[in-house]
Structure 1
Amino acid sequence: MEMGNQSIISEFFLQGLPIEPDQQDLFYALFLAMYLTTVSGNFLIIILIQLDSHLHTPMYLFLSNLSLSDLCFSSVTIPKMLYNMQSQDPSIPYAGCLVQMYFFLFFADLESFLLVAMAYDRYVAICSPLHYTTIMSPKLCVSLVVLSWVLTTFISLLHTLLMARLSFCADNVIPHFFCDMSALLKLSCSDTQINEMVIIILGGLVVIVPFFLIFSSYTRIVSSILKVPSARGIHKAFSTCGSHLSVVSLFYGTIIGLYLCPSSNNSTFKETVMAVMYTVVTPMLNPFIYSLRNQDIKGALLRIFSKWTIQFSLR
């Protein structure tokens, strides 16, 4: 099969998770339950935000997009992983591998940009509450969401096109449970300097810049709270920002631990564990973090449930 310059590999084999054969069924059931929880939890948040007019605000516009991103992000890798755990043929076609890599990068980058938009929303809400509705206008919010989707489309497409130009001549076993970009680069028999340079440049745009923007937003939020310290103000700030900070810590903590703090010993195992954290665990925890700490989500759930109960009783 001719791909890129002179690739002779038509498919890759995903090595999967480092699980003992006698524990496969246990971990299969665990990951299946986690995936179903991720899908149902994020889907529920999207439905609640769409149905409840009280949630038609900038913060929940960003949250609905984040939930959609989490739902799709986990769906890019987990179903294939579950299939391979039960299959004797853990192969993936060359084109399918590139498609999986594209969508993995797309939804990971999208989440990063959405977290920045949510941090800016919280900054305006706490530091400039009187001008909140003017600053966070519907036009600005929609523009931020559209910009996030457009940027991630081009960034992911660029990485994928650069990967497609490489040749893979011999080893086609990916030591991972999905087509990770760094793992594919290690298998290539072509010059990967351009790919690595683009990864460094765009990695700063997608990870480092958003992280510092979020850090700057919350530094100003804390500074604003400390200027007028009060129990009510501190409680409001934590209730408003606590959920978002928890998600930011989970998302960036695992990415920084994986890519910025490399380990020389047992790096493949570490990479796999950290990848499971941000592809499986984080998307599952996000709905719980936002629903358990968010009175608006709880109120919306009760209102819609009560409405449906009344309609059902009147039939």
Structure 2
Amino acid sequence: MEVKNETHHGFILLGFSDMPDIRIPLISMFIGAYIICIVGNVTISMLIISQPKLHTPMYVLMGNLAFVDISFSSITIPHALYGLISGDTYISFNGCILQLFFFQAVGNMDSFLLAIMAFDRYSAVCHPLRYLTIMSPKTCICLVASSWVIVSLHSLMYAVMNSCRALCKWVIPHFFCDLSGMMLLSCSFPSDLEQIGVYVEGSIIIFGPVFFILVSYILIIRAVLKLQTSKGRWKTFNTCSSHLTIVIIYYSALIFVYFRPKSIYSAAYDRVSSIVFCFFVPIINPFIYSMRNKQVTSGVKKVLPQA
């Protein structure tokens, strides 16, 4: 691992330098995962743009989710891959703060989009006659734009807080600048007031979308159970299957990475679990929508013969 003399101007990312035996498999996995993520999500995005019948609120939101997934992987994978190949794991102070900001913003935007998509499914199932009025283009733009503002302000707060901290260490035990890794470098603990403010604000950002999704699906299930025939229930619930599958995968991965007992914490576990969150979720999303959505599948079949 190459260590630069200017470490006081930046950080050394530990990455996987303590695991030299798996360096080549990791490089192959990183490259393969990134290519699959880009190709899968770009394909979904281009399909939505090129097929007029997919110009509906749900698919517009799906296109936004694909953009977020591409951004999410691009924030961490290229720099980690460069470090694996070159052995240079140095990152400047400003570069680290920017990576922290964008990782927080894009990661939280994923959950906000899932919440908006849950509202879209609720509107389609519970208010089908008013669906296009409720989920108008103006409403979609306002919901997505306001979500970007909220997550950006949230991420800016953490970026400013970490950029102002007095640091005693310069080696981050991770392959990117994550919040948990950055907090380990601080010389002192935050004040009680600061901890309470961060806890309350962070809880709203994290659990707000979760609460919204849960309420939406409770109302959806209640509406589905009121249907007279089992065929009608299955057909109605099937419209939510792709979104529900992604919600389960996303929050399962989130819990696996960030909500685990402190007794099982280790730097190696943190890095491995982050790979699952940073790679697996962005890759799996387009495939779920492709396999479980007839409109997307038929769109792919129309485009492929033209290629």
After TM superposition, is the score higher than 0.5?
Answer: yes
What are the superposed Cα offsets for residues 180-226 of structure 1, whole Å, 9 maximum, x if unpaired? 11211111114433664443223222211111110111111111111
What 5-or-longer segments of structure 2 have no aligned partner? 1-6
Counterpart in the other structure of 1:5? none
What 5-or-longer segments of structure 1 have no aligned partner? 1-7, 310-315
Distance 2:102 2:162 in 1: 14
Question: Are positions 1:210 and 2:229 aligned together?
Answer: no
Counterpart in the other structure of 2:176? 178
Aligned to 1:188, what secondary structure does the other structure show?
Answer: coil
Distance 2:154 2:265 in 1: 30
Counterpart in the other structure of 1:4? none
Letter in 2 for 1:86: I
Worse overlay, 54-63 or 296-305: 296-305
Equivalent runs, 1:81-160 vs 2, <5 Å:
81-160=80-159
Distance 1:42 1:89 in 2: 30
What are the superposed Cα offsets for residues 85-127 of structure 1, whole Å, 9 maximum, x if unpaired? 1122211111110011011011001111111000000011111
Counterpart in the other structure of 1:255? 254
Stretches (4+) displaced over 4 A: none
Instruction: After TM superposition, give the deviation of residue 235 of structure 1 in Å.
Output: 2.6
Equivalent runs, 1:75-86 vs 2, <5 Å:
75-86=74-85
Instruction: Please tell me the root mean square deviation across aligned C-alpha atoms, in Å.
Output: 1.9
What are the superposed Cα offsets for residues 215-249 of structure 1, whole Å, 9 maximum, x if unpaired? 11111111111122533223323431111112111
Counterpart in the other structure of 2:288? 289
Aligned to 2:263, what secondary structure does the other structure show?
Answer: coil
Distance 1:92 1:198 in 2: 29
Equivalent runs, 1:167-246 vs 2, <5 Å:
167-169=166-168, 171-193=169-191, 196-246=195-245
Mapped contact 2:227–2:233 kept (Cα < 8 A): no
Letter in 2 for 1:126: V
What are the superposed Cα offsets for residues 20-78 of structure 1, whole Å, 9 maximum, x if unpaired? 32321112102210111001111111111111111110001111111000000010001
Mapped contact 1:9–1:168 kept (Cα < 8 A): no
Distance 1:64 1:133 in 2: 18
Question: Are positions 1:276 and 2:281 aligned together?
Answer: no
Letter in 1 for 2:171: V
Letter in 2 for 1:184: M
Relative to 1, partners in 2 of residues 1:131 and 1:271: Cα closer, same or farther, differing over 3 Å?
same
Equivalent runs, 1:302-313 vs 2, <5 Å:
302-306=301-305, 308=306
Aligned to 1:13, what secondary structure does the other structure show?
Answer: strand
Counterpart in the other structure of 1:264? 263
Distance 1:27 1:259 in 2: 22
Letter in 2 for 1:247: I
Worse overlay, 53-62 or 268-277: 268-277
Counterpart in the other structure of 2:4? none
Mapped contact 1:52–1:304 kept (Cα < 8 A): no
Letter in 1 for 2:290: S
Instruction: After TM superposition, give the deviation of residue 18 of structure 1 in Å.
Output: 7.6
Distance 1:129 1:177 in 2: 46
Distance 2:162 2:119 in 1: 34
**How high is the sequence identity, in percent, across the aligned residues?**
38
Mapped contact 1:18–1:269 kept (Cα < 8 A): no
Distance 1:261 1:93 in 2: 30
Relative to 1, partners in 2 of residues 1:237 and 1:202: Cα closer, same or farther, differing over 3 Å?
farther
Distance 2:218 2:17 in 1: 40
Relative to 1, partners in 2 of residues 1:36 and 1:196: Cα closer, same or farther, differing over 3 Å?
farther
Letter in 1 for 2:32: A
Relative to 1, partners in 2 of residues 1:286 and 1:263: Cα closer, same or farther, differing over 3 Å?
same
Distance 2:237 2:74 in 1: 31
Mapped contact 2:105–2:155 kept (Cα < 8 A): yes
Instruction: After TM superposition, give the deviation of residue 301 of structure 1 in Å.
Output: 1.9
Equivalent runs, 1:23-34 vs 2, <5 Å:
23-34=22-33
Distance 1:56 1:195 in 2: 45
Instruction: After TM superposition, give the deviation of residue 15 of structure 1 in Å.
Output: 1.2
TM-score (norm 2): 0.92
Instruction: After TM superposition, give the deviation of residue 132 of structure 1 in Å.
Output: 0.9
Letter in 1 for 2:227: V
